[in-house]
Each structure stands twice: as C-alpha cells, then as structure tokens.
Amino acid sequence: MDLPLWSRGLLAVLAAQFLSAMADNALLFGALALLKNLHYPEWSAPLLQEFFVAAYILLAPFAGPLADALPKGRVMLLANGLKLGGALGMCLGLNPFLAYGLVGVGAATYSPAKYGILSELTSSDRLVKANGLMEGSTIAAILIGALAGGTLADWSVPGTLVLVALCYALAAGANLLIPRLAPAHVLERVSLKAILGDFRQVLGTLWRMPDTRFSIVGTSLFWGAGSTMRFLLVAWVPVALGIMNNRMPAYLNALVAVGIVVGAALAARFVTLEKVNRAMPAGVLIGVAVCLLAGTGNLVVALAIMLAIGGFGGFFVVPLNALLQERGHNTVGAGHAIAVQNLGENLAMLTMIGAYTLALRAGAPVTTIAAGFGLAMALAMIVLWRVRVRHARVAGKSAEAVQTV
C-alpha cells in the first residue's frame, strides 16, 4: 500500500512531538530552578536525570508491547497525560524527583509509539524522510524548549511549570487528531511473566537479525556519546577556551542540535534503507571531530567543529532509526523494536557517563578525556562498520550458493 508522506496523521504526530519535546526540555530547566529554590544540595541535580533514565530502563519490557497492543495515537495520548501529571505535580508541591520520574515514565511510554507509528502512517520508501521530519521537529523543540525554559525560570519557576503543563495538554490534544490505527501486535496474555517473556523473545529476535542489531548498537553509541558530551563540554569550555560562564556550553550544544537538523535533511536526500551503509563514515567522523575539538583552544574553530559533529550525527542516526523501524515493523512490531532500542541507548548513557565520571575522579585532564573519548568513539564505529560489511559479504555468498544449487 502506497501511503503519502504528508497526511493529517503525520502532521498531528509532528505537532504532538514538537509540543511534548519542547515541554520536556523546558521542564528540565524549571525543575533545576525549583531545586535551587527549595535549597536542595547541588549534588542532587543529576539525580533528576537518574530518575528520568531509570524509567526508560525499568519500563523497556512493557513500553514496546503497550505501543503495539493498542492504537499508537492513544498510547501517545496516555504518555502525554503522564507527563502532564508530573508537571502539575511539581506545580502542586509533589517531591520534584518523584514528579520528574513520572514524566520519565510518560517519556518511556511515548517513545516506542511516536517512532513506531511512522511505519504505519507512511510507506517504507518514505520512512527515512519521515524520520528526518521527526528528528527536525524534535531538535527544533529542544532548542526552543531549552532557551524558553532557562529564560522563564529566571522570571518565575511556578510560571514556567504552568506553561510546561499547558504544552503537555496541547500535545495531548494533537494526539486526538491522529487516526485510530489498528494495533500492530495484540498481546495474547496479559501478565508480568508473559510480558517479560515476550520482551526476552523480542530482544533475542532483534539481536539475531544483523540489520536490527546493527541499528541498536549504532544508535546506542550515538546517544550515549551525546549525553556524555553535554557533561564533558561543561568541564572542557573553561579549561580549553578560558570562558567561565554557563552560556557557552549551552551555545555549543545548540550548534550540535542545528547540525543534526542539517545532517538529517541530507540523510533523507542521499540515504535509503537499501544503502544504509552510506551513513557509517559519518559515525566515524563524529569521533574524529571530538578528537579535533579536544586539541583546539579557538572559539570559532570549536563552534565549527560542534556544528560538524551535529551534522555527522544527524546523517548517521536517522537512517539507522528508519532501518530499525522498518525491520521491527515487519517482524516483532515497531513499538517492541523501539523499546529494545531505548533500553540499549539508556544503558549506554549510564555506562558512558559513569566512565566519564570515574575518569574525572581519577584526576585525568578534561582535554585528555575528550581526546580519549573521541578516539574510542571512532574506533567503536569502525568496528561496527567492519562487522556490518562482513555480514553483508557472508549474506552475499550465501545467496550465491543458493542460486547455484
């Protein structure tokens, strides 16, 4: 069935994603400001992210089956309702960590549905373009949400939280405009044992398939590295550039976001699912660019490198997301596949950030850490690329042998 790229359903998904992601990023700054107002110790701020990420890891076995067992538009509506509840909880004085954890539960529920629905709203040959639109909408929301959240939090923390709650409510309204699609995979049995068994089976199926294993590993490396880079820049900017304010790391991160939009657009133009290996050089170049960043002390050069890192990242991650969605949709369900991907990405985040923290505690210079991080990233991408090529060669020889017989 040839489905168009632009439809009411896709426009509703993009609108809901923009509003929800914008609120997510504004809420982070509002929550951090709230902790300061409530006189929590400085070390407690990272715990917000731990509560958020923990929801993704703990709910990984359940989010995918939920996304595939119900119409995905309704799952997105439920998820935005949970986010709305967390934001309102902060407004009403609920413990900020518990409230932010509730938002994390909503985000973990939302993710498999928002990506999985793309393969149901458009054809496979347009899936990379649809992913490009989704990533572009998300990055724009990240930029606007971060800037708005930081600015509004200086004006009024309660006002920021109320506006965030309003954005979640509007996102839920946009979810109601998504057509009621048939569930992808209805669960035969609803029990904890059945769901965990289903997730274990899905995890095994996806890991045995070269395409989906490749996608999960690649995107996990990318998002784990991206989360670590945010922390690394905060420590690197004062040392390498001699700039002590808090704005410059944010500007550098913003340039990465702009670059991702450009890279995603280029991927939609030049990469298809059949030629997804074209994205691999960009993955290697991410690590190379980080190594170059570690050695520079020039602001203009640093800005250019961060823009390039974003461009390479967008060109790399969008096709891999599309590959997983398409293969997942045709096997275990796109929602299940995205839930497994979320588990891999969040475990990578915890691992990489943990390694970075240990290196700092050991007294390693931040420039050395940055160079080592970039080198490790480049080598990991090269290994992934070589494994991918080897599997393609083996598959090609197997196909030739079958034809000969």
Q: Is there a single domain that holds both residue 172 and residue 221?
A: no
230 phi and psi, to 5 degrees?
-60, -45
For 168-194, write each residue's pLDDT tens digit: 999 999 989 887 766 655 655 567 777
pLDDT category, 43, cuts 50, 70, 90?
A: low
- Examine the pLDDT at 210 and tell me if it is beyond 80: yes
Q: Is there a single domain that holds both residue 154 and residue 286?
A: no
pLDDT category, 374, cuts 50, 70, 90?
A: very high
Between vectors from CA 97 to CA 96 and to CA 99, what angle results, nearest 5°? 60
pLDDT category, 82, cuts 50, 70, 90?
A: very high
Longest dimension (CA), the chain: 74
Q: Is there a single domain that holds both residue 167 and residue 224?
A: no
pLDDT computed for residue 167 by the predictor: 95
pLDDT computed for residue 403 by the predictor: 45
Q: Residue 181 falls within a domain, yes or no? A: yes
pLDDT computed for residue 405 by the predictor: 42
For 125-161, write each residue's pLDDT tens digit: 677 777 778 877 887 888 888 778 777 877 888 999 9
Q: Is there a single domain that holds both residue 177 and residue 219?
A: no
Instruction: Give the whole-angstrom CA distance, residue 181 versus residue 232.
Output: 43
Structure tokens at 31: 């929550």
Instruction: Give the whole-angstrom CA distance, residue 116 versus residue 134.
Output: 12
Instruction: Give the whole-angstrom CA distance, residue 49 versus residue 70.
Output: 29
Read off the CATH number of the domain in which 85 is found: 1.20.1250.20
Q: Residue 168 falls within a domain, yes or no? A: yes
Instruction: Give the whole-angstrom CA distance, residue 329 versus residue 325.
Output: 6
pLDDT computed for residue 400 by the predictor: 47
Instruction: Give the whole-angstrom CA distance, residue 364 versus residue 51.
Output: 28
pLDDT category, 325, cuts 50, 70, 90?
A: confident
Q: Is there a single domain that holds both residue 176 and residue 217?
A: no
pLDDT computed for residue 182 by the predictor: 63
Q: Is there a single domain that holds both residue 240 and residue 110?
A: no
Q: Is there a single domain that holds both residue 246 and residue 390?
A: yes
Question: Which residue carries 């896709």 as its tokens?
Answer: 10
- In total, how many domains does the chain have? 2
- Distances in Å between the Cα of 115 and the Cα atoms of 14, 46, 93 are 11, 27, 33
Question: Which residue carries 């920021």 as its tokens?
Answer: 160
> 303 vs 235, which has greater pLDDT?
303
Arithmetic mean of pLDDT over the chain: 82
- Examine the pLDDT at 6 and tell me if it is beyond 70: no
Q: Helix 299-329 to helix 96-116 angle, to the nearest 10 degrees? A: 60
Q: Is there a single domain that holds both residue 79 and residue 222?
A: no
pLDDT computed for residue 166 by the predictor: 96
pLDDT computed for residue 3 by the predictor: 55
Look at 278-292, 303-317, 349-363 and tell me which has the smallest mean pLDDT: 349-363
pLDDT computed for residue 294 by the predictor: 92
Q: Is there a single domain that holds both residue 136 and residue 253?
A: no
Q: Of 366, 345, 346, 342, whose CA–CA distance to 356 is shortest?
A: 366
Q: Residue 234 falls within a domain, yes or no? A: yes
For 241-290, write each residue's pLDDT tens digit: 998 765 677 678 778 888 888 898 898 888 887 888 899 999 999 999 99
pLDDT computed for residue 220 by the predictor: 92
User: Residue 337: which domain range?
Assistant: 208-405
Q: Is there a single domain that holds both residue 140 and residue 21?
A: yes
Structure tokens at 83: 């986010």
Instruction: Find the distance separating the first CA and the last CA of the chain, reported in whole Å.
Output: 34
> 230 vs 301, which has greater pLDDT?
301
Q: Is 89:102 a contact under the CB 8 Å cutoff?
A: yes
pLDDT category, 164, cuts 50, 70, 90?
A: very high
> 121 vs 252, which has greater pLDDT?
252
Q: Residue 199 falls within a domain, yes or no? A: no
Which whole number is the average pLDDT over 111-133?
A: 73
